[in-house]
Amino acid sequence: MVERVLILSDTHGAFERTKTLIDCFGPFEMILHCGDYLYHGPRNSIPADYDPISLSTLFKDMGYRLVGVKGNCDSEIDLTLIGKDRLPDSRVVHINGLEIYLFHGHRNENPPFERGLVISGHTHLRGLMRKGFLFLLNPGSPSLPKDESTGSFGTIDFKKREISIFNLTGVKSAGETF
Query: Do strands 98-103 and 116-119 pair parallel, antiparallel, or not at all (unpaired)?
Result: parallel
pLDDT for 41: 87
Angle, to 10 degrees, between the axis of helix 52-62 and the axis of helix 15-25?
40
Residue 124 has pLDDT above 90, yes or no: yes
Provide the residue ranges of all domains of the chain, joining segments of one domain with +: 17-25+33-177
pLDDT per residue as tens digits for the range 142-158? 999 999 999 999 999 99
- CA-nearest of 17, 33, 47, 125 to 84 is 33
Write down the mean pLDDT value for the chain. Answer: 96
Class of domain 17-25+33-177: alpha beta
pLDDT per residue as tens digits for the range 33-79? 999 999 998 888 999 999 999 999 999 999 999 999 999 999 999 99
Query: Do strands 98-103 and 90-95 pair parallel, antiparallel, or not at all (unpaired)?
Result: antiparallel
Residue 20 has pLDDT above 90, yes or no: yes
Sign of the dihedral defined by the CA atoms of residues 171, 17, 98, 36, in that order:
positive
116 vs 6: CA distance, rounded Å: 17
Dmax of the chain from CA atoms? 42
